[in-house]
Structure 1
């Protein structure tokens, strides 16, 4: 049974680090899409779709215009990015496919960026970023890189029916992580930086 998606699940988190820090967080609102939130069991393959859905819901925090995984698969086939057979499959998508879909579905404008192995994602803030790699192939959303080497990470890998943001925060599905432990130095990363 589908759950009612939660909004802005990072609100209420304690700030990271010790002492004074300057933070750059996204502005606007988003909906947290995760495994099974629409009744589809997409564990093990749906994280890219769920991250794309979260990004499509930003900056208004509404489900209008947010594509279902089946619509994403159809669009990628119709665009010629994927050969026939993706529709109805458990095929993964990543940042490159998400960038194409953001443009196709009229979502926020994405700016793809490739980060070579060992470099680790970083940068400014005030925007949402989709990130995924090769050795570290799990898709996730960075909601606001901090200037003190922390990133705010939103994982779509939650399964179940979270009742509130505190439950997600306590389980670690959303939270601050030190950059040094958030990324695998053996992986390259593709990022999709969005602006409203």
Structure 2
């Protein structure tokens, strides 16, 4: 559950594992390339990840990534992890990156609840299947490392429930980014990925 935002709109506080506040950034202030992106790193010769530091909703991030191309001209999309190894390797890239903001920032990735995608704002929170919006592949409990207590599908007063997926730092001092379901209208930076070859 999100807590208060400080006066500079720089970080969010939540209750940490030890009952005290835990801070997550919602802004990345690192230098970008000519395309307005921050290269996070690559997984071998298969894919490369970039952070888009603009604070955007899930759908805005989806459009933003689709409008970007890799240096080799390949179209990008919101990041997706096809197995736990990919997710852990991504986490290692973020926590060894020289831009420390990336280590503590919640970042949109391409996961979405299938029922949300197929309906116009259902009025109750159904049990859901989670898919990657780009490939359409599903990911169940064994396919993604959710943070503890996630996905929890929290409902807001406007009846919007958590149906989109971000990676969120977990386990202070932050050692990995785990999956977290969130309201699709929340604004955060995002992770784009593109094929290298």
- TM-score norm. by structure 2 comes to 0.27
Q: Looking at secondary structure, tell me which structure has more helix per residue.
A: 1
